[in-house]
Structure 1
């Protein structure tokens, strides 16, 4: 079993009121944010997770059982699992995928466990709570909505005429399109937020959005009206954690500024307080000026922090470092 680095807690400062965090996102970006929350040793952590995945094990479960795709939910539980022998064992078990070529090939154990408990208990949220108990999680994991969602995008560049827009449907297709994503929408178009997700946002001291796949893990949250309204009513410090770089496919060639413009375009009513950006990712003064102007458009200030993860050789991994991110979030809370 691969050993997990010990969770030496990050001091969140005597001036920081941070006790409760609601982290919105999905996939590997949310995983790193939740690990950062673990380093802060917060007593109240809730992951609010996107539910639009239609590929792999998650896609098979949603098609065959009609359930919300469990993959991002499983990853969030793994991120919050206890830093103990039992917790590390459960993390590895939940993330383990069956090999071979049979019916179980490619399925993650955690996905099947969540699906089975949902059938037995009759509640998706109750199933997630029970799996979190098994993994001794420090926090809860809830879906942003209690039904499977589809993502449909307007994409240009799929025809000889770059002005022509084509609809592309499905998270996997949108994330991997060779065209340029211009806009995304949810199907159904007016989903109700999971009440537990709204409650978590309302009681949080800090709400984070991102990092993650911008059009398929981050923006879907702000297309749920109840979520945007809860963020507006919440007294929490609202923090967008910007991606370290653009991603091949859905955000290829995007600047940091354009990431923010896309967020504002999809959720005009959204207002946030801080946008956390890696201090090494925006070297030019002009880029920083444009970024600050875009941030002001959503009511935020730009906060530069060293948050990039490096491997043992000193090379960038492309992921956020949870310890560095924890320190950045604590610093923003304290100032």
Structure 2
């Protein structure tokens, strides 16, 4: 086992203990535990709280001792040297000089992009949709009256300075019992929400615990429901119902809106947009992850007023029930129909061919590659939008994703100084 790998394992172990301790304290002090354990509730809460406090103190003392040893002896238990620490500090200095990027969206697409962006800059603000109502997030939203934590959790983990072991813990989904289908990370955010009585504060404190690079912000603190008007005139209510019903009736989405129709962005989100060098929309589900953020009161106006470069990254594959048969231009038209014609400066589109054997699984579900036609390019040029096209596919375990480092490099290169500020490795 290499020295660096062993070092990471040591650090990860103490961080893991500390986070588990914080989670236990949170559970012990929260109303969530009160509801979870109808009997012996007081004893259970005390046990969780005391155990959590012990783990926090123990892990913190060990971590401090490791750092002191490093400064005194030039290494930590023979594993982490002063050179390693200097390298981390130097890298952080380089990243702090990177462009200010605001990434807007949700779902898997946004979290994948964030993993790449944090290798080029630490000045990242992710504005994440909270309109989803399916899966474990939907259950917590209904049961606890909180905003859905799922997309927020994924973005926090994407920007967190943690090792894979820690991410596995927070992404773990319970397989049995009343918690079946819930992820540990969702429950953590739920408990933090109970403790602080504010979803905004819960997200901020969770980000602090996990040493997040940049900021993760919900698109609004309002309890919004997503609705879609189909071309046949039917109205579908609920984010999770939209693709299902659309698939059933085979009628395209005409427009989407939220109930209530008036919701407000966070002040911190507006400030980040005003100060941004680059604003990125997507990648992610067009109608249920990206566009919902544009429906928040006057957010489009703030984006257009910003001096930042505005970029849209469409998905590499169509999404059944949302974007069946859509080309790149169709995606852009939907964005502009829900905002303003002058919203975007650049489109970054994939032109890499996907291996047929990989596509087979997607075709079975009704998904197809999002293509950029010659007609698309002409149409976008006439709109005053510059098209950047490149090979941007990354296939892992038969899943098609954007090549996050290559995509991030292109995005960072669009900062107004025209230079790609690459992180130190």
Q: Normalized against structure 2, the TM-score is what?
A: 0.67
The 5-angstrom pairing of residues 107-126 of structure 1 reads 107-126=182-201
Alignment of 1:85-234 (within 5 A): 85=163, 88-100=164-176, 102-156=177-231, 164-176=232-244, 177-178=246-247, 179=250, 180-234=252-306
Q: What value does the CA root-mean-square deviation take over the aligned residues?
A: 2.6
Against the structure 1 CA distance between its residues 207 and 103, is the aligned structure 2 distance closer, same or farther, given a 3 Å change threshold?
Answer: same
Q: CA deviation at 1:330?
A: 2.6
Deviation at 1:134, TM superposition (A): 2.1
Distance in 1 between residues matched to 2:215 and 2:391, nearest whole Å: 28
**1:68-109: per-residue Cα shift (whole Å, max 9, x none)?**
111000000111111x54xx3332222111111x22111111
The alpha-carbon deviation at position 286 of structure 1 amounts to 8.7
Q: Structure 1 residue 51: deviation in Å?
A: 0.5
In the superposition, relative to structure 1, how do residues 198 and 103 fare at CA in structure 2: closer, same or farther (>3 Å)?
Answer: same
3-state SS of 2:326 partner: coil
Q: Give distance in 1, aligned partners of 2:241 and 2:380.
A: 28
Q: Does 1:68 align with 2:154?
A: no
Residue 53 of structure 1 contacts residue 172 of structure 1 at CA under 8 Å; is this kept in 2?
A: yes
Note the C-alpha offset of 1:122: 2.0
- Bigger Rg over Cα: 2
Of 379, 383, 391, which residue of structure 2 is paired with 1:293? 379
Which structure features the higher share of strand residues? Answer: 1
Aligned length: 307
Instruction: Determine which of 130, 134, 152 is the counterpart of 1:55.
Output: 134
| Mapped partners of 2:382, 2:127: distance in 1 | 26
Q: Is the 8 A contact 1:271 1:300 kept in 2?
A: no
Distance (whole Å) between structure 2 residues aligned to residue 292 and residue 99 of structure 1: 50
Change (3 A) 1:226 1:68: same
CA distance in 1, matches of 2:100, 2:153: 21
Structure-2 separation of matches of 1:140 and 1:319: 23
Secondary structure at the aligned position of 1:69 is classed as coil
Alpha carbons 1:246, 1:253 under 8 Å: kept: yes
Runs (4+) off by over 3 Å? none
Contact 2:106/2:289 (<8 A) preserved: yes
Higher relative contact order (CA 8 A, sep 6+): 1
Structure 2 residue aligned with 1:330: 412
Q: CA–CA distance in 2 between the matches of 1:91 and 1:37?
A: 18
Query: In the alignment, what sits opposite 2:123?
Result: 44
Runs of 5+ consecutive residues of structure 2 not aligned to the other structure: 9-87, 355-368, 420-425
Distance in 1 of aligned mates of 2:228 and 2:353: 28
Higher relative helix content: 2
TM-score (norm: length of structure 1): 0.84
